[in-house]
Structure 1
Amino acid sequence: MSDPHPARSPDREDRRTFLQKVAEFIHPGPDSRDELISTLADAEDNQVIDAESRVMLEGVIRMADLTAGDVMVAAPRMDLIDIDSRYDEILHLVIGTAHSRFPVFEGDRENIIGILLAKDLLKLQRAPELNVRALLRPAVFVPESKGLNDLLREFRGNRNHLAVVVDEFGRIAGLITIEDVLEQIVGEIEDEFDIGEEGGDIFALADRTWRVSGDTDIDRVGEAFGVTLAPSDEEEEGRFETIGGLIAHEMGHVPRRGESHRIGGLDFVVLHTKGGAVRWFKVSPAAADDRAG
């Protein structure tokens, strides 16, 4: 006969102990959000929670004050697909930007008619009678003032991963993804293109260019391409360690997506930035005529 009072599992005991510790530590409760964040810092100091848990909890608290407009990719930096573009042009954009989803417009960039998933382009290989218009998914539009808490709930509910952000006049203000929202809680999310040092920070793309991480050591980039990369001002030599830092210095400002710079016979195009630093460059050798000029 089974025991009418089974022993509590070790996992449940541990969980209960943790909750008791938290309750005891924060009693009486904080009176403001700042006090709550301060309490979490104290909880970490007292080893009630670890550093990673504190950061995530703070992210959840701070996210309540953020809107879609705070974290969106602004309209001028959006990578859009023209519905009238040729298949090879679309494929080139998909490969070059490495996004998984693209807003598609017709005629005017303000006229977004749907969302194209990069993986859906594979269907055109097997069914050439299809066209891009047939592959489009409905676009979701949200106002700039949309709270991130509400937006995350909607993303989870409708299984969309991207929304187009509009301003109070109905114009396109930018776009936001579920990754942008989640990163406010858990920090930066590594995706399939965020290759760690052990996996390589320079790798070839299908269009015979290379993707180079902004934090790649300058000497490593130079060795990979057989060139010498150094500041134009000799007095600055040795001051920079990463290719992103060197190019930002040479450009004289924080690089923005889409900007390009030539150095050491190589063309560097900014593909992705985060937190004021370049995450990825697209790199190709400068044309012979350009190098000569």
Structure 2
Amino acid sequence: MSDPHPARPPEKEDKRSFLQKVAEFIHPGPDSTEDLIETLADAEDNDVIGADSRVMLERVIRMADMTASDVMVATRRMDMVNIEAPLEELLNLVISTAHSRFPVYQGARDNIIGILLAKDLLKLQRAPELNIRALLRPAVFVPESKGLNDLLREFRGNRNHLAIVIDEFGRVAGLVTIEDVLEQIVGEIEDEFDIPEDDGDIFGLADRTYRVSGDTSVERVCEAFDTLVQSSDADAHFDTIGGLIAHEMGHVPKRGEHLQLGGLHFVVLHTKGGAVRWFKVSRVADDSPAFGSASE
């Protein structure tokens, strides 16, 4: 005899992913990438997705058309380690640049023999007899045409955070990090250079140079270094040292470029959003070039 009051079947759990829900909202599908992005904006207006989600999805869509060459650090601006360099010189490079990983070359800069992790140098404290070569990790090489989606998948799969980018002739074109790729999705990632303003803007380094924020006022730089730093253009006025240096260079500064001004040597350490975030500053040596690239 059948049960007169059968139990109600449990409601099925909605296992649709977030992207599937968005896809159903925009059905029928758009005809182009720009149409899809416009539809995402409509989804935000209709409260289907939030503003942050819309921005991230738009970046994911645009990233599909990007390659390693679009986000890499060009070879002339790469901070690299010469395997033949003295340990003291190597340590000064690690301290002054504050990177966690360095391509290592032997002879020519195109001859990259491995990757050195800054943290691995700590092993030399316990075993001074170790050779730097013993600390090197294998270098990963990718072509300039490598899609960012594929590159991110490889970074996650092999747990590497840095890859050397090679051009069509097999020469080193630059390097790309997992941070460079992720920033195309989530925007700028705060790193070791992103110190809150309240924590200060001028820091002494172990090699007797200084790290100076690009937002530091020109007046404060003059006071800190007891010198007069001013524009060569008498009619120009700048509030920040970053703005002043950019004006003197005549273009948006890039990492590794440097300039002498007011008896000081400014080297661009870090840039974000088209502005210099940090300079390395030292007193001018008599034989220093006026300006150019610190990596040359």
Where does residue 292 of structure 2 map in the other structure? none
Where does residue 245 of structure 1 map in the other structure? 243
Query: Alignment partner of 1:212: what SS?
Result: strand
Distance 1:86 1:139, change over 3 A: same
Query: Alignment partner of 1:150: what SS?
Result: helix
Contact 2:258 2:267 in 1 (8 A): yes
CA distance in 1, matches of 2:243, 2:273: 13
Tell me whether 93-102 or 220-229 shows the greater mean CA deviation: 220-229
Listed one character per residue, the Cα deviations across residues 237-292 of structure 1 (whole Å, up to 9, x for unaligned) are: 2xx332111111112222232222222332211122344322221012335999xx
Where does residue 168 of structure 2 map in the other structure? 168
CA distance in 1, matches of 2:287, 2:119: 37
Q: For structure 2, list consecutive stretches of 5 or more residues without a partner in the other structure.
A: 1-7, 289-296
1:146-185 equivalences in 2 (<5 Å):
146-185=146-185
CA distance in 2, matches of 1:19, 1:92: 48
1:170-209 equivalences in 2 (<5 Å):
170-209=170-209
More helix by share: 1
- Aligned residues with identical type, % of pairs: 75
Where does residue 255 of structure 1 map in the other structure? 253
Distance 1:257 1:46, change over 3 A: same
CA distance in 1, matches of 2:160, 2:145: 19
Aligned partner of 2:265: which letter? D
Where does residue 94 of structure 1 map in the other structure? 94
Report whether the alignment pairs 1:61 with 2:61: yes
**Superposed displacement of residue 112, structure 1:** 0.7
Distance 1:222 1:6, change over 3 A: farther
TM-score where L is the length of structure 2: 0.85
Structure 1 segments, 4+ long, off by >4 Å, are 4-8, 18-25, 287-290
1:18-33 equivalences in 2 (<5 Å):
22=22, 25-33=25-33
Distance 1:45 1:261, change over 3 A: same
Where does residue 49 of structure 2 map in the other structure? 49
**Superposed displacement of residue 19, structure 1:** 8.0
Tell me whether 79-88 or 41-50 shows the greater mean CA deviation: 41-50
Query: Alignment partner of 1:206: what SS?
Result: coil
CA distance in 1, matches of 2:63, 2:148: 6
Contact 2:193 2:278 in 1 (8 A): no
TM-score where L is the length of structure 1: 0.86
Which among 267, 280, 283 is matched to residue 282 of structure 1?
A: 280
Query: Alignment partner of 1:110: what SS?
Result: coil
Q: For structure 1, list consecutive stretches of 5 or more residues without a partner in the other structure.
A: none
Where does residue 121 of structure 1 map in the other structure? 121
Aligned partner of 2:195: which letter? I
Report whether the alignment pairs 1:80 with 2:80: yes
Which among 249, 271, 277 is matched to residue 269 of structure 2?
A: 271
Distance 1:161 1:24, change over 3 A: closer
CA distance in 2, matches of 1:23, 1:147: 24
CA distance in 1, matches of 2:68, 2:168: 13
Aligned pairs, how many? Answer: 282
Q: CA RMSD in A?
A: 2.9
